[in-house]
Structure 1
């Protein structure tokens, strides 16, 4: 079977939305959960556009909220597929907000969503290969490879680490914690 390939460009999606008072939290800033919901939507759109299939979110990499988003600002999210596996894709998302009166733009966060393509029976579907056309796309692909390796190392560490050992428990004295196991 011949593998098809698609460019990163074919996965690019941009959405913009004006932030309303109904999107704010108790401190008057835009609620992080609302932003995460928008990020999930654009990750779905990018992955589905690229794969031609319905896609589900498998994981979300670290989301660091770098700058608060204010009511009345225009939020723009840009997403593209940065990595593909057999049925999975890592979608990179950049979130910026713009103060409409001044034009000042803030980088609010970036994150990576791992999306999995599904066929009509709900089984994992193959995705096209990825054509990298610019050095930035190559850089993003390599960053995804590093992210996958770190995830694997973490999983291996969690499986192998003996947290019940005397050594592990005694090392906890270096932290602001007290162990009281019954």
Structure 2
């Protein structure tokens, strides 16, 4: 399996922020942004692996500035790192006032997807070839993000074990 560059699977999606996408403050619902992130990240993972994929985690979603009704939002997703069968995807969302041209970073997110074969089993993915400084920096910091993910999963697992869930409810 040949390694691939980040640009081979990069995915860009633009959306117009319509009134039905907004809350009572006239800014985009965070849940809509999260759905867009999951979709564009999944496409990126499928482009890289050329397999079916499932979302394993959405590690962080940071809402930095609001996108307003009438703005466009542009989502750019790229592979940040790969494991044997998993791919970490970095997504940045830029909003643009279409009348003034002002652009601002609205949201960033890290998601992880697992590639699956035709039987639903984890499938190996190609290695990654970074080319830009941003791509190299994302790969350099991948081990720390993975450590934090594993720590969070362990904490959450322990928390869930302590919950007293009645199976008869």
Match of 2:48 in 1: 50
Give the structure with higher Rg (CA).
Answer: 1
* Distance verdict in 2 for CA 1:155–1:72, change over 3 Å: closer
Alignment of 1:1-182 (within 5 A): 3-155=1-153
* Distance verdict in 2 for CA 1:100–1:57, change over 3 Å: same
What's the TM-score, normalizing by structure 2? Answer: 0.87
- Segments of 5+ residues of structure 1 without an aligned counterpart are 165-182
SS in 2 for 1:62: strand
RMSD of aligned Cα (Å): 1.9
- Segments of 5+ residues of structure 2 without an aligned counterpart are 163-169
Structure that is richer in strand per residue:
2
